[in-house]
Structure formats: structure tokens, C-alpha cells
Amino acid sequence: MVDLNPFSLWRRLLALPNESRTKTILMAFLVSGICALMVSGATVYLRPIQAANRAAEQQARLSALVAGIPGMSALLAQSGGSLGTIVVDLARGSAAADVTPETLAAALEETANWTGLAPSDDLAGIRSRPNYAQIYLLRDEAGDISLAILPISGSGYNGPIDAILALQGDMTTIAGLAITGQTETPGLGARIEEPAWLSQFPGTRLADASGNIRFAVARGASGNEYEVDGITGATRTSNAITLMVRFWLGSKGYGPLIAAIRRGEF
């Protein structure tokens, strides 16, 4: 009768000579299995820590963005120093029925909660857009929205660009922009993170009286109220910012939400 006791099998394996092919193969499988378990365990353990770190970094950049908007620090102090947050259904332009800030990350792990974009619609070069996004709203004493802070993303020259765009209550004037992630060329496209360049955005208009989105990063110096200065030697990065803002403020991005805010539905 074969002894299938695990300890006996282990002892028999160890008793094999080191030159044994069987022992070598089994030990290799054993070591790889243990390593796989350790990596999986570390991933599960570290995921919430990484998520918390990303959230903390996002919050720090958000705070810096808001603090840099003229008059916003005083307005925040009047409202208790905090922003309200909500998850919106981008297609409907309304608050999500079943997704909260706490469940958003899990919801976006499901492919069903993403929408593929046709090339003609994909100005930002992101291929697919999440169906839900977490935004921040600041209200004045009368309860009216005085600031909307929206996460946006696009494809830059070297890789993804992530940013936070703040709009004034009229939903057509930029209050500020913060870059939260980019891999553009140092000294060229990476200058989109420089405070001097970002300081141009407050007060820049997004759309004309007819509602046409006209925002652009100029090829040189800005020529009108819809433009900011371009970055010398970084045309593709400048174009990426233009297209990313235009996409997210359009019908496939936050357009339905902006329309709902203007109708007083938030």
C-alpha cells in the first residue's frame, strides 16, 4: 500500500539525491508555487495601502489647486473648509444610483462600467471612458455651486496625462488646473506641471456664447480669452492638453453633467 502521508512524501523527496531530476523538478515547482503565493499575498495586502496613498496624493493636489484659486481659501473657510463629493453617471449627467465614492474603485474594475469610444469621438486618445467619475462641488452660502472640480485624463506624447480641472460656477470659466500624473519629456512637455504655466489657466474661458468649446493651448503666445500660452518645443504635449480638455468638457465627457448643473439639477 502506497503511503500518501504528506510528511512521508516530503521525507522521501528530501532523501532523493540532489542530482535527481525528479527532485529538481519538484523543488522548482514547490519554490515557484511558494513565490506565487507570496506575491499574491503581498498584492492583496498592499492594494489598500496603495489606494490610500493615491487618494492622499490626489487630496493633497486637490487642496493645493483649490488654495491657489483667488478667493477660494476664504470661500472654503466660510463653508467649513471642505468640498462635497459625489459620483456621477457621465452618460446621464446625474448622480449615480448605485455607485458611491467607497464603491467606485470596485465598480471600475468591471469592464461593463466602461464605454468604448469611436476614433472620431476619442479626442483625448483614451480609447474607453469610465461610466462613473467622482467629482467635487463647492457651494456658497446660498447653496449655489461656486466651484466644480473634475478629474480628466488623456494621452500625451510619452504616455497618459492625468489632471484635475476646476470650473467656476458658470461652468464655462476655468478656475484652475492641476496635473496629477504625467510622463512627458523633462524640460519640455513635463513643464505642464510648472506653477508658472498652470497659473495662466484661472480666468480662461472654455466656450463662446453659442456653447462651442474653444479652449486651446496656443502654438505660441495666447491670442484670446480662450487660450493659454503654448510650451516651446512641446507641441504634441500642448495639443494633448487641448484635446483632453475639449473631450472631457464635451458630450462624451462632462457635457451632460455641466448641462444639468446649469439647469439647477445639482
Rg (CA), the chain: 25
Distances in Å between the Cα of 198 and the Cα atoms of 217, 233, 241 are 11, 17, 12
Q: How crowded is the C-beta side of 148, counted as CA atoms within 13 Å?
A: 28
Query: What is the pLDDT at residue 65?
Result: 60
The DSSP bridge partners found for residue 205 are: 173
pLDDT of the residue at 244: 95
What cell does 182 get? Answer: 504625467
Classified as helix, coil or strand, 47 is helix
pLDDT score for 180: 84
* Residue 196, C-alpha cell as written in the block: 508658472
- Average pLDDT of adjacent 10-residue blocks, the chain of 266 residues: 60 72 73 73 58 59 60 55 82 92 88 93 93 89 84 91 90 89 89 90 90 90 91 91 95 94 89
pTM comes to 0.72
Q: Which pLDDT score is estimated for 174?
A: 92
Q: What is the pLDDT of residue 59?
A: 58
pLDDT at 68: 60
Closest by CA position to 131, among listed 85, 182, 94? 94
In the chain, domain spans: 1-67, 73-262
C-beta of residue 205 within 8 angstroms of C-beta of residue 173: yes
8 A C-beta contact, residue 233 and residue 150: no
